Amino acid sequence: MVFGAVVALALGDLSFNELLCVVPLASFARLLVVARSTFRLWAPKVISALPQRKKLLGQALELFSVEILSLVYGRSDMFLVAKMSGLGAAGVYQVCYKVFDVCVSLFGGFLQAVFPRMVRDRSRKSLSRILGGGTALLVIPAGTIILARHQLLGALKPEYLRGSSALIWLMLTIPLMYITSTVANVAIAAGRTRLLIGAATLLMSTNVVLNLLLIPRYAINGAAFSTFACELMSTVVLAPVVLKLSA
């Protein structure tokens, strides 16, 4: 839905304000699909284990708070770019961010597919294969987009070439985000969701501060660098702590 809206924006069939409305609608639609699938899968087990409902509800609320913090972290830069650099800059950054979202989707489904294996097999060897193999594979599309960024953005609109430097930082973030997403799944599998709440709070706060400092001077490049810096910080801080859970 979002990709189609970006294409419509590039073709002039959709305004930027309309695009901003599509993004939360697409996120809400995805939430409904995931919620429906999850309910159908887990509802019978929940009903058959009524004494454990309180614990399950507590874990669900913890994960929900992580999702809310992640949503603020992922979208605050767009709001701040629009506020401090104007809608024109926000439109260019939105296009770059959609390319970034496409790359994120490349490993999103994979991590969901291997999550049951993470729960069942917590060996360091298995996790190393998932981390190493996935990171190496993601370097290929990220590097390709970096090399072809001028052709890609210019094919949409010449004005979008302003986002070529921002796109570099966002593509460099892809392998880091894969690593942090993987270790987050490890924390969930180990029942350490409270650790993720603290990490998400730190990540969101740092991102907002960096955006406030960098966007006024560097515009969308500052916003993209903030995303890269936060994911790098998350990898350095969170990964060693979580990886001990699989030792």
pLDDT at 26 over 60: yes
Predicted model pTM: 0.74
* CB distance 174 to 231 below 8 Å: no
Instruction: Give the CA distances from residue 72 to residues 6, 48, 156, 203, 224, in Å, rounded to whole numbers and listed in that order.
Output: 21, 36, 28, 10, 15
Instruction: Compute the average pLDDT of residues 229-240.
Output: 89
Chain-centroid distance, C-alpha 183: 14
The pLDDT value recorded for residue 206 is 92
Q: How many residues does the chain have?
A: 247
Mean pLDDT taken over the chain: 82
The pLDDT value recorded for residue 166 is 96
Looking at the chain, the whole-number percentage of residues with pLDDT higher than 70 is 81
**Residues 173-220: pLDDT tens digits?**
999 999 998 888 888 777 777 888 888 888 889 999 999 999 999 999
Going 211 to 23 to 144 to 154, the CA torsion angle's sign is negative
Angle CA 106–22–175, to nearest 5:
25
pLDDT greater at residue 144 or residue 7:
144
The pLDDT value recorded for residue 214 is 95
* CB distance 99 to 152 below 8 Å: yes
Instruction: Give the CA distances from residue 146 to residues 7, 132, 161, in Å, rounded to whole numbers and listed in that order.
Output: 20, 21, 12
